[in-house]
C-alpha cells in the first residue's frame, strides 16, 4: 500500500527562502536571488522565463496525463525545438488568489529544484512565470518508480540492493552537502530514468528546505511509514532523511515494512525504534547489510549514520574485481576508494576538459547553458565519468581532488589542471558542478546538434525577438561573467557590429570549433538553420508514461 503523507503543525518559512506576496508587476522572488547566489546567475536565469516568453513558445503540452498530485496533473510535453520530439513532464500551478504562505512554499520548492544538478537527481529544465500560472518543465523519467520495481520483485538481491542504496545515498549526500533537507525520502520518490535501466533519480522537492545548521525544523510532514522519530517529536535536522533511507533499505532487502499495524501502533514503534526483525526475512542476508540498516534506524539522530559516513560503510564497498580497461582509457586512483579502488577515465574526457579550459568566455557561457538542454541519452554517455571524478561524493568536484585526478589521467601539469578548473568554476564557488562538466563534454564527447543550438539561443533570447542583445545577456549572465562585462562578450560573436547577435551569427560562432561529428548525427550547416522553430525529423523516441506518485 502506498504511503500517506503527514502535514501536521506549523513551521515558519525560513527567512532565506521567504516570499512576499505580489500584486501587479512580477518582481524577483527572494528564492531566486538565493538560488542565484548559491549556484550562479547563469544556471538559474537561463531556465527561469517571464513574459513575453511563455511555455507555449517552446513546448507543446499534450493532453496525456503522466500523473496527478495535490497540485494537479502532470502532463507530457514535447519540445518544439527538438527533432524526434523529445519528451518532458510539465506541472502547472494556478497563481490566482494564491495565499502568502502557499506562494512561499511554492517559491521554496522552485528555488531548491533550480539548485539541483546531479546525475542522481531529476533535472528542472525550464520554469515559466506569468501573473496567473507557473509552469515547471522537468525531464521525463519513464523507467517507473522504485516502489513499482519492489512491488514487482518483492525483494532485491543483496547486490542489487547495494547498487540501489548507493545511488540513493549519493543523491541525499548531494542535498545535505548543499544544506538542503528533502523530508520525503521514500520508494515513490526514486524513479528510474528509462525502462530496464538501473539508474535512479530523486524527485519531488515540495517538502524540501534550505536548512540552517543553527536551527531545528518543526513541521511534521512526510510519509508515516518512512518518517523519523524526531520528526514526530517536532524537532529535527537533515538526519531525518537517513532514517527514511534505512526504511527503504530494509524494504529492499526483506520485502517487508519495518513498521506496520495501525497508525497509532506505527507511531509508537517508530518513536521507540522497535522494527520487525523476522529471522525468516533476514535469512541469507549478510551481517554487513544488517549492520548498515541498524546503523540508520537509530532513534537518536546524533548517533545515526550521516549520508557521508553511510557511503563509507563496509556494506557499500566494492565486492567485485574491477572491469578490464578499454583502449584509450587510463585508470585513476580516487582520493576516496568508497566506490572502486580505481576508475577509468577515457582520454576524450580529459581532452574535453582541456578544450573547454581553452575556450573563450562567451563560448563557455553558451556551452554551460546548452548543458541544460542535453537529453538523458546524451548525459548517460558521460555521467559515470563525472561520478568517478567526484572523489568526495558530494556531487561537485573540489580543486584538490580535481587536480590530483586529472593529473593522473594525463594533464601535463598542475598549472594546466588549475586553469581548467577555474574555467569550469564559472560561479567561483571553488567547485565544479555537473552541468559545467557536461558543458566541457560538448567539446569532445557529445555532438553539437542543431536542436541544442536552437534551445540555447532561445534561452538567451529573453524577450523572444529572435536576437540577443546586451540586456538579454545581462538578464541571463548578470552584469559580468567571469569578471568581464557582458557587452564585451557579445562583441565576440557579433559579426555585424550592431550590438546584437542573430541566430545565424550565434550558430556560426559556436560551430567554428565545437562540432563533434558522430555516426548517427548529420553535419550541421549553419546556412540551413531557421530562426523559427526547427524541423523535427532526425529520430523518433519511444515514450512511456511515468507513474508519478500522488499524495493521499
Domain boundary pick from 116, 139, 162:
139
More confident residue, 337 or 82: 82
pLDDT at site 76: 96
Residues 155 and 113 in one domain: no
Residues 274 and 334 in one domain: no
Residue with cell 574485481: 321
Distance CA 142, CA 545 (A): 6
Please report whether residue 112 resides in a domain.
yes
Distance CA 388, CA 250 (A): 27
- pLDDT of residue 44 exceeding 70, the answer is yes
Residues 257 and 164 in one domain: yes
Task: Name the domain count of the chain.
Answer: 4
Question: Quick one: cell of 228?
Answer: 523519523
Nearest residue to 197 (alpha-carbon basis) of 29, 53, 24, 376: 376
Residues 194 and 115 in one domain: no
pLDDT at site 483: 87
Confidence of residue 527 (pLDDT cuts 50, 70, 90): very low
Tell me if residue 551 falls in helix, strand or coil. coil
Angle at 118 between CA 113 and CA 122, to 5 degrees: 50
Average pLDDT, the chain: 83
Residues 135 and 168 in one domain: no
Distance CA 258, CA 395 (A): 30
- pLDDT of residue 61 exceeding 60, the answer is yes
- pLDDT of residue 544 exceeding 80, the answer is no
pLDDT at site 21: 29
Please report whether residue 248 resides in a domain.
yes
Beta bridge partners of 8: 220
pLDDT at site 2: 58
Q: Where are the beta strands (DSSP E) in 312-384?
A: 329-333, 342-346
pLDDT at site 462: 95
Residue with cell 548498515: 292
Distance CA 168, CA 226 (A): 15
Please report whether residue 134 resides in a domain.
yes
Beta bridge partners of 397: 432
Question: Quick one: cell of 426?
Answer: 564559472
Enclosing domain of residue 201? 146-316
Share of the chain above pLDDT 90, in %: 62
In CATH, what number is assigned to the domain containing residue 81?
Answer: 3.30.200.20
Residues 305 and 345 in one domain: no
Distance CA 266, CA 270 (A): 6
- pLDDT of residue 20 exceeding 70, the answer is no
From the number of C-beta atoms within 10 Å of its C-beta (0-12, 13-18, 19+), residue 302 rates as: exposed
Mean pLDDT for 416-428 is 89
Nearest residue to 416 (alpha-carbon basis) of 428, 408, 407, 427: 407
Q: How far is CA 99 from CA 96, 331, 492, in A?
A: 9, 55, 46
- pLDDT of residue 134 exceeding 80, the answer is yes
Confidence of residue 411 (pLDDT cuts 50, 70, 90): low
Tell me if residue 51 falls in helix, strand or coil. coil
pLDDT at site 494: 81
Residues 431 and 475 in one domain: no
Nearest residue to 127 (alpha-carbon basis) of 21, 193, 31: 31
* 390 carries an active-site annotation: no
Residue with cell 560551430: 511
Neighbours of 276 (CB within 10 A): 14
Please report whether residue 519 resides in a domain.
yes
More confident residue, 415 or 164: 164
More confident residue, 331 or 491: 491
From the number of C-beta atoms within 10 Å of its C-beta (0-12, 13-18, 19+), residue 240 rates as: buried
Confidence of residue 496 (pLDDT cuts 50, 70, 90): confident
Contact criterion met (CB below 8 Å) for 112 and 209: yes
Contact criterion met (CB below 8 Å) for 304 and 296: yes
Domain boundary pick from 441, 463, 493:
441
Please report whether residue 292 resides in a domain.
yes
More confident residue, 411 or 513: 411
Lowest mean pLDDT of 411-415, 435-439, 453-457, name the range: 411-415
Nearest residue to 108 (alpha-carbon basis) of 6, 46, 183: 183
- pLDDT of residue 80 exceeding 90, the answer is no
Q: How far is CA 375 from CA 85, 355, 449, in A?
A: 11, 22, 11
Distance CA 15, CA 30 (A): 9
Residues 311 and 209 in one domain: yes
pTM of the model: 0.85
pLDDT at site 453: 94
In CATH, what number is assigned to the domain containing residue 310?
Answer: 1.10.510.10
Residues 167 and 302 in one domain: yes
pLDDT at site 492: 85
Mean pLDDT for 39-49 is 94
pLDDT at site 537: 26
Please report whether residue 4 resides in a domain.
no
Q: How far is CA 329 from CA 177, 238, 247, 384, 386, in A?
A: 30, 39, 39, 13, 15
Please report whether residue 237 resides in a domain.
yes
pLDDT at site 495: 79
In CATH, what number is assigned to the domain containing residue 514?
Answer: 1.10.238.10
Distance CA 247, CA 270 (A): 11
- pLDDT of residue 343 exceeding 90, the answer is no
Q: What is the pLDDT of residues 276-331, one digit of tens each?
A: 999 999 999 999 999 999 999 999 999 999 999 999 999 999 753 333 444 444 44
For 477-535, give the DSSP string.
H-SEETTEEHHHHHHHH-SS-SSSEEHHHHHHHHHTT----BTTBPPP-GGG--SSPPP
Contact criterion met (CB below 8 Å) for 47 and 36: no
Residues 497 and 348 in one domain: no
Confidence of residue 10 (pLDDT cuts 50, 70, 90): very low
Buried-state track 310-337, b at ≥16 Cβ within 10 A, e below 16: bbebebbbeeeeeeeeeeebbebebeee
Q: What is the pLDDT of residues 261-287, one digit of tens each?
A: 999 999 999 999 999 999 999 999 999
Please report whether residue 174 resides in a domain.
yes
More confident residue, 515 or 172: 172
Lowest mean pLDDT of 19-33, 327-341, 453-467, 486-500, name the range: 327-341
Residues 490 and 428 in one domain: no
Confidence of residue 208 (pLDDT cuts 50, 70, 90): very high
Alpha helical stretches, state H, 188-322 = 229-232, 240-254, 263-272, 279-282, 287-296, 307-311
Helix (H), strand (E) counts: the chain: 23, 20
Question: Quick one: cell of 404?
Answer: 590530483
More confident residue, 397 or 23: 397
Residues 175 and 120 in one domain: no
Q: Among 58, 117, 126, 184, which one carries the catalytic annotation?
A: 184
Phi and psi angles of residue 115, each rounded to the nearest 5 degrees, phi first: -80, -20
Domain boundary pick from 316, 338, 355:
316
CA distance from start to end of the chain? 11
Phi and psi angles of residue 303, each rounded to the nearest 5 degrees, phi first: -105, 0
Confidence of residue 31 (pLDDT cuts 50, 70, 90): confident
Phi-psi region of 53 (alpha: psi -120 to 50; beta: other; left: phi over 0): beta
Tell me if residue 239 falls in helix, strand or coil. coil
Q: What is the pLDDT of residues 351-382, one digit of tens each?
A: 899 899 999 999 999 999 999 999 999 999 99
Mean pLDDT for 197-223 is 90
- pLDDT of residue 202 exceeding 80, the answer is yes
Amino acid at each position: 500500500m502506498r504511503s500517506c503523507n503527514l502535514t501536521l503543525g506549523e513551521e515558519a518559512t525560513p527567512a532565506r527562502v521567504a516570499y512576499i506576496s505580489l500584486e501587479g508587476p512580477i518582481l524577483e522572488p527572494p528564492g531566486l536571488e538565493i538560488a542565484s547566489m548559491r549556484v550562479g546567475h547563469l544556471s538559474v536565469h537561463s531556465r527561469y522565463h517571464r513574459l513575453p516568453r511563455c511555455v507555449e513558445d517552446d513546448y507543446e503540452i499534450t493532453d496525456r496525463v503522466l500523473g496527478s498530485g495535490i497540485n494537479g496533473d502532470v502532463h507530457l510535453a514535447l519540445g518544439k525545438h527538438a527533432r524526434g520530439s523529445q519528451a518532458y513532464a510539465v506541472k502547472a500551478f494556478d497563481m490566482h488568489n494564491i495565499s502568502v504562505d502557499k506562494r512561499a512554499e511554492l517559491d521554496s520548492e522552485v528555488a531548491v529544484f533550480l539548485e539541483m544538478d546531479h546525475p542522481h537527481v531529476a533535472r528542472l529544465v525550464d520554469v515559466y512565470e506569468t501573473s496567473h500560472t507557473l509552469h515547471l518543465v522537468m525531464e521525463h523519467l519513464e523507467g517507473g518508480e522504485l516502489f513499482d520495481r519492489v512491488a514487482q520483485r518483492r525483494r532485491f538481491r543483496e547486490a542489487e540492493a547495494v547498487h540501489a542504496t548507493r545511488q540513493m545515498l549519493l543523491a541525499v549526500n548531494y542535498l545535505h552537502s548543499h544544506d538542503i533537507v528533502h523530508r520525503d525520502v521514500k520508494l515513490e520518490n526514486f524513479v528510474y530514468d528509462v525502462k530496464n535501466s538501473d539508474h535512479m533519480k530523486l524527485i519531488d522537492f515540495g517538502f524540501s528546505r534550505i536548512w540552517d545548521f543553527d536551527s531545528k525544523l518543526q513541521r511534521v510532514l512526510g510519509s508515516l511509514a518512512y518518517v523519523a522519530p524526531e520528526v514526530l517529536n517536532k524537532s529535527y535536522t537533515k538526519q531525518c532523511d537517513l532514517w527514511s533511507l534505512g526504511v527503504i533499505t530494509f524494504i529492499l532487502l526483506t520485502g517487508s515494512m519495518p513498521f506496520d499495524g495501525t497508525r497509532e501502533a506505527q507511531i509508537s514503534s517508530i518513536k521507540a525504534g522497535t522494527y520487525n526483525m523476522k529471522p525468516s526475512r533476514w535469512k541469507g542476508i549478510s551481517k554487513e547489510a544488517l549492520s548498515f540498516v541498524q546503523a540508520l534506524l537509530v532513534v537518536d539522530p546524533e548517533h545515526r549514520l550521516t549520508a557521508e559516513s553511510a557511503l563509507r560503510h563496509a556494506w557499500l564497498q566494492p565486492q567485485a574485481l574491477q572491469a578490464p580497461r578499454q583502449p584509450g582509457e587510463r585508470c585513476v586512483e580516487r582520493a576516496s576508494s568508497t566506490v572502486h579502488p580505481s576508475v577509468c577515465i577515457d582520454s576524450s574526457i580529459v581532452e574535453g576538459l582541456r578544450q573547454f579550459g581553452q575556450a573563450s568566455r562567451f563560448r563557455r557561457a553558451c556551452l554551460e547553458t546548452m548543458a541544460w538542454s542535453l537529453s538523458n541519452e546524451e548525459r548517460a554517455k558521460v555521467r559515470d565519468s563525472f561520478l568517478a571524478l567526484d572523489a568526495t561524493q558530494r556531487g561537485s568536484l573540489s580543486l584538490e581532488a580535481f587536480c590530483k585526478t586529472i593529473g593522473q589521467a594525463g594533464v601535463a601539469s598542475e598549472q594546466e589542471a588549475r586553469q581548467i578548473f577555474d574555467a569550469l568554476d564559472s560561479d567561483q564557488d571553488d567547485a565544479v558542478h555537473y552541468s559545467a562538466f557536461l558543458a566541457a563534454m560538448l567539446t569532445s564527447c557529445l555532438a553539437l546538434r542543431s536542436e541544442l543550438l536552437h534551445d540555447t539561443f532561445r534561452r538567451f533570447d529573453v524577450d523572444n525577438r529572435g536576437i540577443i542583445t546586451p540586456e538579454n545577456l545581462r538578464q541571463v549572465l548578470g552584469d559580468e561573467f567571469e569578471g568581464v562585462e557582458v557587452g564585451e562578450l557579445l562583441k565576440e560573436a557579433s559579426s555585424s557590429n550592431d550590438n546584437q547577435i542573430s541566430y545565424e551569427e550565434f550558430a556560426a560562432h559556436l560551430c567554428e570549433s565545437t562540432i563533434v561529428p558522430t555516426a548517427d548525427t548529420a553535419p550541421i550547416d549553419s546556412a540551413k538553420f531557421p530562426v523559427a522553430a526547427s524541423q523535427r525529423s532526425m529520430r523518433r523516441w519511444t515514450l512511456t508514461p511515468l507513474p508519478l506518485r500522488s499524495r493521499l
